[in-house]
Chain A
Amino acid sequence: MAEMVSMKSMRTPRDCFAKLAIYCAALLVCAAFAWILSDIARGGMAHLSLDFVIGSPRDAGRAGGIGSILVSTALVLAIALMAALPLGWTTAALLAEYVSAGSRFGGAVRYSLQVLAAVPSIVFGLFGNAFFSIYLGLGFSILSGGLTLACMLLPILVSTAESGLRAIPDAHRLSAAALGMSRTSTLFRLLLPIAAPSLAAGLLLGIGRAIAETAALLFTSGYVDRTPGSLLDSGRTLAVHIFDLSMNVPGGDAAAYASALVLIAALLLINMVAMRLATDWQRRKIMAENSNGYSNIDAPRA
C-alpha cells in the first residue's frame, strides 16, 4: 500500500516542478562548462599547433610555444605529488584506521588540516617564499614551488582519503581480522583498494588545484620561461604563463587562450588516466587475489 501511495505522489505537479528544477540546475552546470570550453576553444584553436605545444616561448610568449613551460609544470606537479601523496595518504590511514574517531590527537590533526585547507593560496606563496626559497636557500626553484604546492595539497588528499576509508563498512575489517589478516595487510590488500576511487578523486582534486595555481607559484617556482636544467632552476608553470600573458603582455591573448586550451586538455587527460589506474588497481588487488583463493571478500559494488 505504502508503495502505491508514493508512486501516485510522483505525478503531482509539485514533484514535476521539483524534477524540472533539478534537471535545470544540472543543465546549468553543464552549460557553464560548455560555455567556458567553447570560449577558450574559439579563442585558442587558431593559435594551437604542434609547434606551439613543443616550442619555446618567444617575444614574451606572444610567439613561439609552451614546451619549456609544460616541462616546468610537469616537474612542479611531480615534486608536489611525490611529497604530498605518501604523507597525505599515510595520515589519512592513521586518522581512519589507527586512532578512534573521537581521539584528541586525531582531532588535533584534523583541525590543523582544516585550517590549512582554508588558507588562501597567496599565503602559501609567501610562506613558501620565506621558508623554502629564502630560509632553506632553495631560491626560486621547481623544488620550492613543488614543496609549497605539496603543503596546499595535503588537506585535500587527507580528507578525501580519510572519508573514503571511513565509508568502508566495519564488516570488512572484522572479516579480515577473523581470517587472521594482520592490520597492515588488511590496510594494503583490502581497505586501500576498496577506497581507491576516493583516493583517485582526491588525487584529481589535488592535481586540479596544483595545476591551476598561480599566486603561490609566482613567488616560489618563479617566472623564468626557459626549460629547467635541474630541480633547483626556476621554471614558469602553465597557469603563471596564462596569467602573465593575459594580464601583463599586451597582445598575448591568443597565446593565453591556446595555453588555457592545452591546460584543460591536460586536465581531462590526467582525469581519465587516473580514473583508469584506480579501477585497474582495485580490480587487480581484489579480483586477482580472489581467484588465487587468498581472500574471500567481495569487492563492494559501487
Chain B
Amino acid sequence: MRIFSTKKYALFIAALLLVNGWAQPGNAAPEKLVLTGASTIAPLAAEIARRFEAQHPGTRIDVQTGGSSRGINDTRNGTAGIGMVSRALKPAEQDLQAHTIALDGVGLILNASNPISGLSRQQVIDIYTGKIINWKTLGGRDAPITAINKAEGRSTLELFLGYLKLKNSDIRPHVIIGDNAQGIKTVAGNPNAIGYVSIGAAEYEARHGTPIKLLPLDGVAATVVNVRNGTFPLSRPLNLVTRAAPQGLARDFIAFARSEQVHDLVEAQYFVPVGFR
C-alpha cells in the first residue's frame, strides 16, 4: 500500500490523468474507424491502415482481431465499422456487403521427409474421415497418419470442408489447431502429419527451410501463381464487410485497400492481390 507514499501515489495518478487529458485535444478528435475479425487478415489490415493513416492525416484506423465470426457479429451490431472475413459470405450473411481485398489459397502440407508426392481428392477424404489410417495404404512408409484439423469457426476449415463436401462431424482429427503458423509447426515437427494451411504462408516457410511440402490438388500445383490465375481449386477471398454501402472514412479505406497502392503490402503477407487475374 505504501511502497509509494499516498501523496506520491495521488500525484502520479493526477499526472497520468493530466497527460491523458492533454493528449486528447492535440489529436483534434481524429476520425476513427474500427476493424475486427479474421486473424488471417488482421496483420495485412494493420499494415494497410498504417499506410492509409500516413496518407490521410487526422484519421485513425484501429485493427482488432478475434476471427471471422466475430467480424460478422461486430459489424452487425455496430461495434466495428468494418469486419474482416477470410471467406466468401454465406447465404445467411447476405445482409452484409463484402469487398474483396486479396485472395488466399489453402493447400495440404506434409512433412518434407514424407515420400508421398500427391493425393487424390478421395484419398484426402478417406484420410480425414478415418478410413485410411496408415501411410502404407497410400504407398508410403508404415506409419500411422496424424490428421490435423482446424478449430471450429476458422474460415480455412469451412473452405476445406466445402471442397471435400464433408461435415465437420465426419472428420476424425488427431490434432486440432488454430492458426496457420501453428499448423506449419505441427507438420514440421511430426513426419507423419498432414494438415492444411494458407499457401502463401506455407510457401514462405518451405522456402526458408521449414521441412514441409505442399501437395498438388486435382493435379494443380499449390502455388501463389495458380491461386492468382484462378486454377487452384481451394482458394478463398479475404473480405472487408460492411453493414450497408460504406460511407465516408470506411468507403475511402476500402477503396484504398483494394487499390494498386497496397499490392506490395498484400504480397508481403503472402496473399494474392485482387485485380491481377
> Which residue numbers of A lie inside 8 Å of B, CB to CB?
59-61, 78, 82, 85-86, 89-90, 93, 134, 139-140, 188, 192, 199, 203, 218-219, 222-226, 229-232, 234, 244, 246-252, 277-278, 281
Contact = CB atoms under 8 A, between A and B. Distances in A.
Given A223-B42, A225-B46, A250-B201, A140 B62 contact: yes
B182 interface: yes
Contact of B65 (A192, A218, A232): A218
Contacts of B200: 250
B62 A222 contact: yes
A225 B46 CA distance: 8
B246 interface: no
Interface in B1-39: 1-3, 9, 12-13, 16, 20, 23-24, 26-27, 34, 39
A281 B3 contact: yes
Contacts of B158: none
A284 to B, nearest CB: 11
Most chain B CB inside 10 Å of its own CB: which residue of A188, A246, A251, A252: A251
A229 B26 CA distance: 9
A278 B46 CA distance: 42
Contacts of A230: 20, 23-24, 27
B253 interface: no
15 contacts: A93-B1, A134-B79, A140-B34, A188-B1, A219-B66, A223-B65, A224-B64, A229-B26, A230-B20, A247-B178, A248-B42, A248-B180, A250-B184, A250-B198, A250-B205
A60 B63 CA distance: 12
A281 B26 CA distance: 40
A158 to B, nearest CB: 12
A60 B269 contact: yes
A140 B179 contact: no
A93 B39 CA distance: 44
A250 B23 contact: no
Contacts of A231: 16, 20
The bracket for how many chain B residues form the interface is 35 or more
Contact of B182 (A139, A203, A222, A247): A247
B1 A223 contact: no
B198 to A, nearest CB: 8
A188 B20 contact: no
A278 B204 contact: no
Given A60-B43, A248-B43, A251-B205, A224 B62 contact: yes
B244 interface: no
A248 B180 CA distance: 7
* Pairs A-B, 8 closest by C-beta atoms: A60-B43, A250-B201, A247-B179, A89-B1, A230-B23, A250-B204, A224-B62, A223-B65
Contacts of B79: 134
Contact of A60 (B16, B44, B182): B44
A244 B42 CA distance: 10
Given A192-B2, A222-B62, A248 B20 contact: no
Nearest to A247: B179
B273 to A, nearest CB: 16
Nearest to A225: B46
